[in-house]
Structure 1
Amino acid sequence: MWDDLSQTLNSLRRAPGFALLTLLTLSCGLGFAIYSAAIYFSFTAGNIPFPAPERLVAVEATSHDERTQGKSVHYLDFLEYARATPSLEGLQVLDTATVTLGGTQQYPQNFQAAYVPAAIWPWLGDAAKPEAGRLLQASDELPGAPPVVVIGADIWQNFLAGSKQVIGSHISINGISTEIVGVVPAALRFPLTQQLWLPFNMPGAGMVRAQAMEMGTAKHVMVLGRLKAGASRSQAQQELDLTAQRLATSFPKSNAKVGAVALPYAKWSMPDTDAIYLGLAGAAVLLLSLVCINTANLLLARANERRQELAVRAALGAPRGRLIQQMLAESLILSLAAALIGLFFSAWALEATQQAVFETSDGRMPFWIRIQMSGAAAAFGLGLTFVTALATGLLPAWRASAVDTAAVLRDGRGAGGLAAGRFSRVLVFLQIMLSSLLLLVSAAQTYSVHQRLNAGTGARTEGVLTAMLRPRQAAYSKDEQARAQLWARVEASLRDSTAGDSGVALALSTSLPGGGMTSTEEVLPEGMAIQDDRYPEAGTYSVNAGFFKALEVPLLAGREFGSHDRADSLHVAVINRNFAEQYWPGLDPQAVLGKRFALSPKKGQTQRDWYTVVGVSGQLVQGTGNDKGMRSHNIYLPINQSVPDQLGIAMVGWADTAANRELLAKAIARADPALALEHVYSAEERQKIAYGGSEVMAALCLILGLMTLALGVSGIYGVTSRAVAQRTQEIGVRRAVGASDAQVLRLLLRQGLWALALGMPLGLLLGWLAVTQMDEVGPTLLLGMLGVGLVISAVVMLATWLPARRAIAMPPNMALHCE
C-alpha cells in the first residue's frame, strides 16, 4: 500500500499542471459543500447549554397548516395541550417583550425581556445558576406580589456599573419600580435573546376565544415543553394533533384552521430556513457534480497518457484490481488534499458570514447560534471526500484498467475509440447542462438581491439619522390623549434642536421607508361594492406635517398635512399613486382629490371613519420587500387624527455621528426623561439591517456564479477539446483521402452544436424552474437566459474551434501517428 502511495505521489510530481488544476477544481466543489454543511449544522445543532437540549420542544400554533412563529398559542389552547400531551414532562408558558429600563444616572435603555414561570428554571440547568441572589420563585407570580426581576450580568456590569449592592436595589421597568432579586451569567439569553426575566402572570380573568381566528394578542403566549425520557417528538406531535382536532370541532369559529406543531428548541421562533438549506444543498450538489465531471475528464486524460505504463504492468502479471487500486490512490490523494484546502477556505468564509450576518441581525439572532466550522461539518466533509474520490476516480480507473495489452504494446494506442467518443459526448452534454443551470440561477439571484439593495425607497437616505420611539409606560399605553400630547412634545423638542440649522428637516412616521414594518387595515373606497364582507386592505401610516417634503418625496397632486389638520377637524389623508390607480382608475391625480374612503369599515355605517383625499404622493417603499413595496396601496394620515403607539424618527440632514446621537437623546429626554430610543441608525444602515442576510446571499450567489463560470469554461473546454483530440487520427484519415479543412471543421463544430442544442435548453429550463420557485419572475429573467445562452454557446464554439484548428493544422502523416 505504501509503495502504491509513494508511486502515486511521484507520478503527481511528474505532472504538476494536472495536479494543480485537479486540486483547484476539487477544492471549489468540496469547499462549497463543506461550507453549506457548516451553515446547516450551525443553525440546527447550535451550542445550546441546557441539559439534554434535544428533549426541549417548542410548540407553535399553525394557521392553515402554516407556521405562525413565536407568540401564537392561545392561552386556553395551551391549557388543553398541557392536559392532553402525556409524552411531555410538562408544558410551560412564557412571553417576551422589549422593556425600558430607567432609574439610573444614564439615559434609559431598552432591553429584551422574558416573562417566565418559576418551574422553567430547572430545565436550564447550570446555565441559569445565579451569580448573585436568587432565581424567580412561584411566590413571585401570586397576585399582589411585589414586582421583582432577574437580570443578566451584562446589564449588571454595563447599565448598572457593576454595583455591589445590586441585589435588593430597585430599577424602573416601563415606569414601575422593580426589585432586583438575582443576577445570572451573561451567556444566558433565554429563550432567544432576552437579558432579563420577570414573573409570568396569567392573562386576564374571564378569557374567551375570539369569534374569528386571531393570533398575536395579549391572550396568546409562547410554549415550551420537555419530552419524557424515551418519548419522541413525533409522539408529542400526534398528541398535539389530536387535541387541535378536538378544539377545531368544539370551537369552529376560532380554531377551525388552527393547529399546533412541535419543533426542536433550535427552531423556536426562527423563520423557516428549510428553503435556505435546500438552496445551499442544491447549489453544492450541482457544483460538486460539475467538479466531478471536470475531474473525471482530467483523470480520463491522465489515464490515457498512462496506458502504456498500465499495459506493461498488466503484461508483467499485475491483476486488474491492483491497477484500479493504484489509480484510485491518485484520486484519493488529490481529493484529500483538496478537502484540506476547501476546509481552510470554508472556515474563513464562515467567519466572514458570521460577521456579516450578525452585523445585520440587529440583535435578533438566538444566543446559541454561532456560524463556524463544527466537528459534524468536518466529518461530513471527510465522508464527502471519499465519495468524491470514488465518483471521480472509479470510472476512469475501471476504463483504463481494461487495457488491450497486445494492441498498446504493439502500436502504443489500442482500441476502444468508439466507446470513448460516446462517453466524451455524454460529458460534454452534462457539462453544458449543469453550467447553464448553475450560471442562470446564480446570476438571477445575484441580480435580484442587487436590485432589492440598490433600488432605493423613493425617499432620501443620504445624511439621515433615524430612530424608533415606543413609549411602554402604562400612562401612554392606556391613554390616547396622553400619547397625542407626548408626540406633540417630541416634535416640538426635535424642532427646537434643529432651529438653528436650515438644512435639517424632521420626518415622523409609524414606519420609516425601507426599514420599517408594513401596517395594513381594511378600507372601503366610497361607492365601491363589497361582496361577502371581504374588504380590500391598504397600508396605513401616521405621519407629521412636512413628512413628504422632509424626505424629498414628490406630491403628484394636492397638499401635505398642516397644523390645521387637528383631531376635531375634517379627517384627511394622502394616498399613494397605486391606491389612486387601483380604486379610481383612469382619473388624473388632480381629479382624485376630494374622493373619500372609510377605514375599518366593518364598524358599521354610522361608526365608519371617513377620510378625504387631499394629496397624492409618488411611490414610497414601506417595509422591506422592494417588489411588494412598489406595488402596495398606501394611506398616510396626520398624527393628530390617527394617534400611533410608536413613531419612527428621521432627522434629515443629520449624519450618524456620536454628537448627533447625543443631541437626539437629549431632545427625547426633554419630552420625557423616562423614554428610551431604540434602533438608532443611519437610513442606509437601517435599510441594510431590514434586508437581513440579503447582502450575504448576494455575495454567495456572486461567488457561486463566478465559480460556475470558471468551472464551466475550463470544464467545457477540457471535455470538448478532449473529444476533438480523440478524433485526431480520424481527421488525419479524412484529410488523407481528400477532405477539405472546411469540411473537417464543419464536422467537428457540428458535434459541439449537437451537445449544445441538447444540453443548454435543458439546463436553462431547469434553471428557469428553480428561479421561479425562489423568486418572482420578471422580464429580466428572459434577458438572463439569453445572456447565459450566449456565454455558454461562445464557450462551446470556442472550445470546439480551437482544438479543431490545431488538429487541422497538423500534417495528415503526423495526425495518423498521433497518440
Structure 2
Amino acid sequence: MLHISDFKYALRLLKKTPGFTALTILVLAGGLAISLYTFGLLNTLLYKDLPIADGGSVVRVVGERKGRISTVNAYLLSEIRAGGIRSLSELGAYSATTLALGDKDSVRNLSATLAEWNVFEFSRTKPLMGRGFVREDSTDGAEAVVVLGYKVWQSAFAGDPNIIDRSILLNRKPTRVVGVMPKDYAFPGSASLWLPISSKDLQPTGYTANAYSVYARLAPGASHSQVRTELQGLMKRVQQQDGRADSQEEDLDGLFPLTFQSVQTYPEGPFVFAILNAVSLFILLLACVNVGNMLLARTNERMREIAVRVALGAPRLRLLLQMTLESMIICVSGGIIAVLLAGWALKSTNGFIATVFEGNLPYWWNWGLDGATVTAAAVFIPLMILLVSVMPVYGATRINASALLRDGTRGSQGRTSGRISRILVTIQIALISVVLLVGTAMGIIAYRAGHIDFGIDPTNLLTMQVDLRDSSQDTPEKQLLFYQRLLGELRGSSDIDAALLTGNLGASRFAVDDMEYSRIGDYPEATLLVTSESPGQIGTRLLEGRNFDSRDSETGLKTAVISQSLARAYWGGESALGKRIRLLDEQGKTTEQRIVIGVVSDVRRGENLLVTDKNTFAAIYQPLPQAIEPVLGVLVRHRGSAAAARTAMYRAVSNVDAYVVPGPIANYDDSQKKLTLVATTMTDLFVRCGIFAILLAMTGIYGLSSNTVVQRTHEIGLRRAVGATDRSIIWLFLRQGGRQVTAGLLISALISIGILYLLSRFAGLGTLTLVVVGVFFAALVTGLVMSAIYIATRRVVKNEPSVALRYE
C-alpha cells in the first residue's frame, strides 16, 4: 500500500516545520533515554548473566538468618554434597579475604579469594599463563601456591613473562605462582588473586567455626524453586540430627539459591528494579502523550486538507498510513538518539563507579550499551509509534468529509477533539502525579542515605583491621599482650594523636536490673562491642561517668559502657551509672552481669542505614581485657599527615609481631562516603529526571488544558450571545477542569499508594512525610491545570461574541 512517495511526502511535511520536528524528536529521545538508562543500569546490577560460559546456570547457595544473607557452615556444606541434591551440580566453596603482598618494607594489601581447587574449571575459564589449581594443591601439607589476577600481574610484577614458578611473599609466607588469569576475570567476585582452600577444612565431622560462600550450577531442567525445596528439606534434617559446636553458630532460617547478582542487593533488589523502571516508564509515557498531542494538533490543522483528499477519492487507509509514517519517522529518529544517549550515560557511569570503587566491585558490574538494552529499545520504539500515532490517527478516522467541507472545522471535530483532549489531560495528571510523588519519595530516601550522621567525628580518622587467628598469638593471654603493646606503639608515635581498639560482636539479648520475660524473643537487643581504654577523645563522646581504664582489667569488676539511647530507653531521666545489665545466651540464661560505669554518644550501627528503630543506637561496650577477640579494628586519629600516620600504623604492628599482617588502612571519612555514594548519585539522578518530567508535565498539561478551551471557542461565543456572563463561563470551565484533576489524582493515588507503602516499610519513610509530599504535588498539579484553563478561558471571553462565533 505504501510507496516511496509516501516517505518523501512525510519527510517534506516534517521538513516544512523544523522546529516542531526537532522538538518532538528531542522530547521522545529524552523520555526513552531515561527509560533505557534506568533499565540498562539495573539490569546489569541485578539480572545480567555472569560473563562466563553458561553464566545463566550459575547460582550461589546462601543461608538466611533474621532476613539477611549468611554463609554456609562447612559441615552443612559437606552434608549438602553427601545428600545428593539432584537439582545442583559442581558445588564449590570460597571465602573472600585480604592478603599482604611483599615484606614489611613494601606491603601491598590485595583482595583475595580462598577457593576450592575446581574454581577455574567451574567457571570454564583457562589461565592466560601457567595452570589453575589441581586437587593436590588443596591436600594437607601441600606447597603454598597462588594464581594471580591480570591486574595484579601487570601492576605488581610489571607483566613479567617469567612470573610462573616464581616465589612471592603473601602474608610474609613464600608462595609459588602457578598461573595468571585473563584480563577482566575475577570470579566469583572481585578477586585479585586466588589460593586453594584446604580439603581438610571442607570435610569436618561436625559444626565448626569455618563458614563459606557456595557456588553451584543448576542441573539441566532444574528450577530455583526445586533447588530451594531440596535444600530446605536437607537443612531441616541436619538441624534435627546434629548439634552445634558453639552458640555463635545458630540455626539458619533458610537455605536457598540466588543468582550472584541478586545476592548483592537481597532482598530489596527486585523491588527497587520494579519501582525505578516504573517511574522511568511513566516519564516515557508522558513524553509520548505530549508528542501525540502535538501531532493531534497538527492533524487538526490539516483536517480540511485531509477532507478534500478524501472527497477526491484518496484511499482513507493510505492517508492513515501516511500519518503513521510521520509518527514512525519521529519515533525512530528519537529512538536512535535515545540509544546513543543511554549508551553514553551508561559508559560514563561505568567509568565513574569503577574509579571510585576500584578493586571493590563485582567484576560483572560493567555497564555499557549491551544487547539487553538494545533489545529494550527495539521493544520500546514500536510501542512509542503506537502510542504517538493513535491520537492523530483516531482523529483522522472521525472525519466526516462532507460535513467538514460544508460547515467548517467547528462543526465536525469540536466534540471529538474536545473529548480526546480531556482524556489526555486526565492521563497527564495521573502520570505526572505518580512520577512526582514516587520520584520525590525515592529522592528523599536517597538524600537521607547520602547524608547520614553516623555519630562519629571523622576528622583525621584512619581505620585498620588486625587479625590474629593464624598467627602465633593463639591464646587470649598472648592476644591481650599483643593489643596492649600495639596501643603503646601507636600512642608513642609523634604522628598519632589517639588510638583505640574496637570490635563488633553482633546483636545480643540483654536484661536490665531485675527485668524478666517468659520468652527469649521478648528480651531487648543491643549491639555488643568490645573496646580498649581510650585516654584521648576518639570515636564516641563520653556523656556521663567514665571510659574504660586500668581498673577494668581481666580480673576486675565486670563493667560496661552503654549508649545514650539505651540509657534513656531503660532509665529515662534517672542516671544509668551503677545499674546492672545482664547479657543472655540464646536460651535466655544469664552469661554474665555487668555494671554500667559510663554513657557515651550514639553511633549508628546495622546494615539498614535508612531505618531508625530502637536497636539502631542501642549499644553495650565491654572492656577489651574482659572480652578478648582475635580480630579487632584499629581506630587512629592522626595529627595532620595521613601518609605519616599510615606508615606509623604499619610500623607499630611490625614492631610488635613482624609476622602479623595488618589489613588495608582506610580513611574513615572516605569509607562513610563510599557507603553513601550510590545514594547521593541516585539523588542527583532523581533530581535531573524529575526536572525533565516536570518540564514535560508543565508544557503538556498547560498545552492540553488551554487547547481544550480553545477548541470550545465557538461554544463560548454561543453562551455569551445568549446572555451568559464571563464569570459564569470561567467558573463552568474551572469546574469541568476540577473534575479532570480529581479523576487524574484519584488514578495516581491508586497507582502510588501500594508503591509508597512498600517504600515506607523498606526505608522508614514516615506517613506524615508522604502526606505532605502528596498534598504539595496535588496542589501544584491542580494549580497548573486551573491556571491554564483560567488563562485560556479569560483570553477567549475578552473577544467579541462575533469573533468567537466565526472561529474555526
Settle same-fold status: TM greater than 0.5. Answer: yes
Aligned match for 2:594, one of 592, 611, 623: 611
Q: CA deviation at 1:385?
A: 0.8
Partner of 2:247: none
Partner of 1:510: 503
1:340-385 CA distance string (max 9 Å, x none): 2222222222133224434554644221220111133113212311
User: What aligned pairs does 1:536-551 form with structure 2 within 5 A after superposition?
Assistant: 536-546=524-534, 549-551=537-539
Query: Aligned AA for 1:773?
Result: L
Q: CA deviation at 1:469?
A: 1.4
Aligned match for 2:578, one of 591, 594, 598: 594
Residues 343 and 106 of structure 1, relative CA distance in 2, 3 Å threshold: farther
Q: Which range moves more in the overlay, 423-432 or 362-371?
A: 362-371
Q: 3-state SS of the aligned residue for 1:474?
A: coil
Q: Contact 2:796–2:804 at 8 Å: present in 1 too? A: yes
Q: CA deviation at 1:222?
A: 3.1
CA distance in 2, matches of 1:459, 1:782: 33
Residues 243 and 87 of structure 1, relative CA distance in 2, 3 Å threshold: closer
Identity of aligned residues (%): 28
Partner of 2:123: 124
Q: 3-state SS of the aligned residue for 1:25?
A: helix
Q: 3-state SS of the aligned residue for 1:598?
A: strand
CA distance in 2, matches of 1:496, 1:246: 55
Unmatched 5+ stretches in structure 1: 211-216, 512-517
CA distance in 1, matches of 2:107, 2:583: 36
CA distance in 2, matches of 1:300, 1:376: 33
Q: 3-state SS of the aligned residue for 2:123?
A: helix
Q: Which range moves more in the overlay, 594-603 or 32-41?
A: 594-603
Q: Contact 1:175–1:473 at 8 Å: present in 2 too? A: no
Q: Contact 2:74–2:201 at 8 Å: present in 1 too? A: no
Query: Aligned AA for 1:13?
Result: K
CA distance in 2, matches of 1:359, 1:519: 32
Partner of 2:193: 196
Q: Contact 1:598–1:609 at 8 Å: present in 2 too? A: yes
Partner of 1:298: 294
Residues 718 and 612 of structure 1, relative CA distance in 2, 3 Å threshold: same
Residues 58 and 539 of structure 1, relative CA distance in 2, 3 Å threshold: closer
Q: CA deviation at 1:62?
A: 4.9
Q: CA deviation at 1:22?
A: 1.9
User: What aligned pairs does 1:584-663 form with structure 2 within 5 A after superposition?
Assistant: 584=571, 586-588=572-574, 591-601=575-585, 608-623=591-606, 625-628=608-611, 631=614, 632=616, 633-652=618-637, 654=639, 657-663=642-648
Query: Aligned AA for 1:152?
Result: G
Partner of 2:710: 725
Query: Aligned AA for 2:25?
Result: L
TM-score (norm 2): 0.89
Residues 419 and 403 of structure 1, relative CA distance in 2, 3 Å threshold: closer
Q: CA deviation at 1:393?
A: 0.7
Matched, 1:418 2:419: no
Matched, 1:814 2:803: yes
Residues 280 and 653 of structure 1, relative CA distance in 2, 3 Å threshold: same
CA distance in 1, matches of 2:652, 2:142: 36
Residues 436 and 47 of structure 1, relative CA distance in 2, 3 Å threshold: closer
Matched, 1:427 2:428: no
Matched, 1:314 2:310: yes
Q: CA deviation at 1:524?
A: 2.5
User: What aligned pairs does 1:223-262 form with structure 2 within 5 A after superposition?
Assistant: 223-227=214-218, 231-234=220-223, 237-238=225-226, 241-242=229-230, 244-245=232-233, 248-249=236-237, 251-252=239-240, 259-262=254-257
Query: Aligned AA for 2:117?
Result: A
1:91-150 CA distance string (max 9 Å, x none): 23222131423443643333333333334433333x332413x32211222233233222
Matched, 1:521 2:512: no
Q: Contact 1:154–1:186 at 8 Å: present in 2 too? A: yes
Aligned match for 1:38, one of 27, 32, 40: 40
Residues 86 and 394 of structure 1, relative CA distance in 2, 3 Å threshold: same
1:604-656 CA distance string (max 9 Å, x none): 86x73222111122322234544445742111223333333434344436567
Partner of 2:90: 91
How large is the Cα RMSD of the aligned pairs?
3.1
1:266-298 CA distance string (max 9 Å, x none): 556663421232122211222222222222222
Residues 736 and 82 of structure 1, relative CA distance in 2, 3 Å threshold: farther
Q: Contact 2:451–2:676 at 8 Å: present in 1 too? A: no
Partner of 1:789: 778
Residues 679 and 426 of structure 1, relative CA distance in 2, 3 Å threshold: farther
Residues 301 and 103 of structure 1, relative CA distance in 2, 3 Å threshold: closer
Partner of 1:444: 441
CA distance in 2, matches of 1:648, 1:795: 56
Partner of 2:319: 323
Q: CA deviation at 1:773?
A: 0.7
Matched, 1:574 2:561: yes
CA distance in 2, matches of 1:568, 1:8: 91
CA distance in 2, matches of 1:529, 1:685: 43
Q: Which range moves more in the overlay, 191-200 or 436-445?
A: 191-200
CA distance in 1, matches of 2:173, 2:475: 17
Residues 683 and 578 of structure 1, relative CA distance in 2, 3 Å threshold: same
Residues 290 and 683 of structure 1, relative CA distance in 2, 3 Å threshold: same
Q: 3-state SS of the aligned residue for 1:59?
A: strand
Partner of 1:406: 402
Partner of 2:486: 490
1:561-617 CA distance string (max 9 Å, x none): 233332222222221122123333x342xx211001122445886x73222111122
Q: 3-state SS of the aligned residue for 1:233?
A: coil
Aligned match for 2:140, one of 126, 143, 147: 143
1:750-779 CA distance string (max 9 Å, x none): 122112223224424543431221232323
Q: CA deviation at 1:507?
A: 4.5
1:38-58 CA distance string (max 9 Å, x none): 224423565745333334343
Q: Contact 1:310–1:401 at 8 Å: present in 2 too? A: no
Q: Contact 1:327–1:393 at 8 Å: present in 2 too? A: yes
Q: Contact 1:523–1:600 at 8 Å: present in 2 too? A: yes
Matched, 1:716 2:701: yes
TM-score (norm 1): 0.88
Q: Contact 1:521–1:537 at 8 Å: present in 2 too? A: yes
Partner of 2:111: 112
Q: CA deviation at 1:250?
A: 6.5
